[in-house]
């Protein structure tokens, strides 16, 4: 449904939001989020390319969010690593369906739209503040 890479990316940014604005080392993030360290490095590079995180080399360097947790939605992160692609034109290239999708593809796109909306409606900050649930990535 959602790719493994999306799951990893979300864990990472949540960890960063929890510790903002202190830079976190990739290895630290990998350990607490249970993501393969070498692969996390690639995922983070993808996030940097879309200006979700900043990466700093050298002693005392590490990873930080490029924006405040209140300004980053789950959708931003998802779209950075594995963009949600809406159905905007007929997948069969039927001329008459071009813009006005058939009932099948309209329904499919509606479902995708619902998911998109759910992701857009939550910021990282909200994830940290919800008092009603357990804290992401933290046991106990």
Partner DNA sequence: ATAAAACAGGACCTTTACATCTGCTTTGGT
Partner DNA sequence: ACCAAAGCAGATGTAAAGGTCCTGTTTTAT
Q: Which residues bind DNA (CB under 7 A)?
A: 3-5, 8, 24-27, 36-39, 41-42, 44-45, 48, 55-63, 82
48 Cβ partners below 8 Å, 6+ apart? 54, 55
Among 55, 66, 67, 102, binds a copy of itself (CB under 8 A): 102
Instruction: Report what 36 binds from DNA, a copy of itself, none; CB cut-off 5-8 Å by kind.
Output: DNA
Residue 59 backbone phi and psi in degrees, to 5: -55, 135
For residue 62, the cross-strand partners are 56
Q: Report CA dihedral (109, 114, 117, 123) to the nearest 10 degrees.
A: -130
Among 74, 76, 79, 80, binds a copy of itself (CB under 8 A): 74
| 92 near a copy of itself, judged by CB under 8 A | yes
Among 30, 33, 69, 72, binds a copy of itself (CB under 8 A): 33
Kindly tell me which of 4 and 110 has the beta carbon lying closer to DNA.
4
Kindly tell me which of 14 and 20 has the beta carbon lying closer to a copy of itself.
14
What distance in Å separates the CA atoms of residue 48 and residue 92, rounded to the nearest whole number? Answer: 35
Task: Specify whether the backbone of 51 is left (phi greater than 0), alpha (psi in -120 to 50) or beta.
Answer: left
Instruction: Report what 119 binds from a copy of itself, DNA, none; CB cut-off 5-8 Å by kind.
Output: a copy of itself
42 with 21: CB under 8 angstroms? no
Question: What does R_g of the chain's alpha carbons equal in angstroms?
Answer: 18
Residues near a copy of itself (CB under 8 A) are 1-2, 7, 10-11, 14, 33-34, 74, 84-85, 91-92, 94-97, 100-108, 110-112, 114-115, 117-119, 122, 126-128, 130, 133-140
């Amino acid at each position: 449904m959602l790719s493994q890479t999306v799951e990893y990316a979300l864990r990472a940014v949540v960890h960063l939001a929890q510790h903002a604005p202190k830079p976190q080392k990739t290895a630290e993030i990998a350990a607490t989020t249970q993501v393969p360290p070498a692969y996390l490095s690639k995922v983070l590079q993808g996030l940097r390319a879309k200006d979700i995180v900043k990466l700093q080399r050298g002693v005392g360097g590490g990873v930080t969010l490029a924006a405040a947790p209140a300004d980053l939605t789950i959708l931003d992160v998802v779209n950075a690593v594995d963009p949600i692609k809406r159905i905007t034109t007929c997948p069969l290239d039927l001329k008459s369906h071009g813009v006005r999708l058939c009932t099948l593809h309209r329904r499919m796109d509606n479902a995708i739209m619902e998911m998109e909306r759910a992701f857009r409606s939550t910021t990282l900050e909200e994830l940290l503040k919800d008092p009603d649930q357990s804290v992401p990535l933290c046991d106990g």
